[in-house]
Structure 1
């Protein structure tokens, strides 16, 4: 090898170029991507937000019909046909009662409310006040607060009648519900595979999350709503048999109150029993008390564990807050969304607890 001549330039190896400051090209690109991602997710949420109730009910119905769809798909080998059949059956089971009984229910509630303000009820109340003068201030306050039947109908019509009797938006919500239900049933396995791929959880943790969601939805719908319906029906029948006013109205109230833990139908039948006792009808008060405390309460203690068991695995107070908060935030679908959010949160906390117990780091996920 020959040494370089004195006239040839000496070439030194170029040092790697260093970018000054924190905002390097890679970091700037990552920040821009994060901002665009957040913006895209926000816009997707704004587009989806109006249909959250419909999608919540679609998810609920899809979980309830998943087993039937799976059996039909295995027998026929055609998931689309099975999804269409299950969707059609659930559509009939949900829509037909609403269309058939919504006008009747509205008229019955209005008539029942008017019967509470009728002359016969007023005379009974006046007789009670004469026998029990201490009740006069409370009765006077209730009479001032209670609206008339027409006023009650006007207040309920925009919310209940508008949804149940075929407003344009209610029809759109129903169409979205069953449209989404079909695809949630047909593409359920693909959706679960995709969620497993994007969730930052191991396979056992993801399976635990999905199982918890399914259990809570089944418990919330099949357990809470069915038990509340039976309690409302039994309470309304007893009101009718004892000759108490507006049995259908009070049965509906007992159904709604029975959905909420810690409340229940006793909020209605206990004051009614006291009213009968103060009137002097102690035998009717005794029958109503026995019916409410034994029969209606027995339905809750027997039927609810059969339908729910230990699948909900949430404290009663936590469920109460979730249901009430869900109703306030999401309306009627909050009965499902509230406990669902609570269950997912509880599952996430359990996953964090399992990952960090025994001094392990949070990112040291269990194998799987």
Structure 2
């Protein structure tokens, strides 16, 4: 058989494989975050899993189940109770919208007093309430998807742990790179996943705790709930925690509590808004030194592509892009000059 006919067969086969891969990805995309979550869990736990099963001779399946239980206790349980706290408060606002209307009108009056513009008019506030009510079915639907992905995480990560040694031996055979570049890719993946899976939530917890203290010091009601929401918004780039504490400061001004408002504004700007930078230059460097620009751009891309898991794999995509350029130069640049 001629070389030309062999190349035609190869191209046809690659097109067939690529088309099938695209079809499968389109149908299973809704569960793709579950796969990413399982991969994250495996990368975070593989060292201890190998230590327990290979060195201590623990049963592989039982040890994997132990890791699944620890994941449920450490991750899922706090998220569940936090969601319950948040939704119970939202339900109260829906049943009695007068208190939220009063707060929005007070903030609107204060902004109008400062700027001369009625940014939050009564019609705007009414539209916001309708949109917020319309989000409830969307949230319920996303909750069902989140539950499905949670089951997928537990299912896939179990098999990743049990068959991890064999999988790690097979994967390098299908990567068309030199061994040193495969090792570099593996190291970068591990470092970035650890840095984002541990570092970003840790920063969120620290900022949320600082916000709780600030709200409590300056006499803000529901300071625990507001601190929790402030911590959640620290995930989002650029705007971050200011989305929560700035309206609280304006509301305090509108209520005539100027001293508390000024104090909270200074506290939020100096401490809550900057504690993440202090965390990054101290203990987060030990987990993985991720540049802030990589984190910001990665979050913008990742949250849109992968949803919740985007805060881990978004920055990883940006790092992969830079790493693949480096590997390309290493693989083909040297060969061109040789």
- TM-score normalised to structure 2 length: 0.83
Q: For 1:256, which of 223, 232, 235 is the aligned residue? A: 232
Tell me, in whole angstroms, the C-alpha distance in 1 between the residues paired with 2:111 and 2:64.
61
Q: Structure 1 43/292 Cα, relative in aligned 2: closer, same or farther at 3 Å?
A: same
Aligned match for 2:100, one of 92, 117, 129 = 117
Map 1:343-358 → 2, pairs under 5 A: 343-355=319-331
Offset, 1:362 = 5.3
Residue of 311, 321, 335 corresponding to 1:361: 335
Q: Among residues 56, 59, 82, which one is paired with 2:39 in the alignment? A: 59
1:328 counterpart = 2:300: no
Q: CA deviation at 1:112?
A: 5.8
The equivalent of 2:72 in structure 1 is 91
Any gaps of 5 or more consecutive residues in structure 2? none
Tell me what 1:12 maps to.
Answer: none
Task: From the superposition, tell whether residues 109 and 363 of structure 1 become closer, same or farther in structure 2 (CA, over 3 Å).
Answer: farther
RMSD: 3.4
Does 2:17 match 1:37? Answer: yes
Which deviates more, 297-306 or 331-340?
297-306
1:179 match: 155
Size of the aligned set, in residue pairs, is 335
- Counterpart of 2:61 in structure 1 is 80
Structure with greater helix percent: 2
User: Structure 1 stretches of 5 or more lacking a match?
Assistant: 1-17
Q: Distance in 2 between matches of 1:145 and 1:118?
A: 9
Counterpart of 2:171 in structure 1 is 195
Residue of structure 1 equivalent to 2:262: 286
Task: After TM superposition, give the deviation of residue 170 of structure 1 in Å.
Answer: 4.1
* 1:91/1:178 contact within 8 Å kept: no
Is contact 2:233-2:241 (8 Å) kept? Answer: yes
| Distance in 1 separating the partners of 2:81 and 2:219 | 27
User: Which residue of 1 is the match for residue 48 of structure 2?
Assistant: 68
Deviations 1:84-120 (A, max 9, x none): 211221123233334444333212234468476244x
Per the normalisation by structure 1, the TM-score is: 0.77
Change (3 A) 1:122 1:203: closer
Could you report, residue by residue, the CA deviation over 1:341-361 in whole angstroms, capped at 9, with x for unpaired residues? 22222211111233456xx22
Q: Deviations over 1:20-52 (max 9, x none)?
A: xxx953333223322332233233323432310
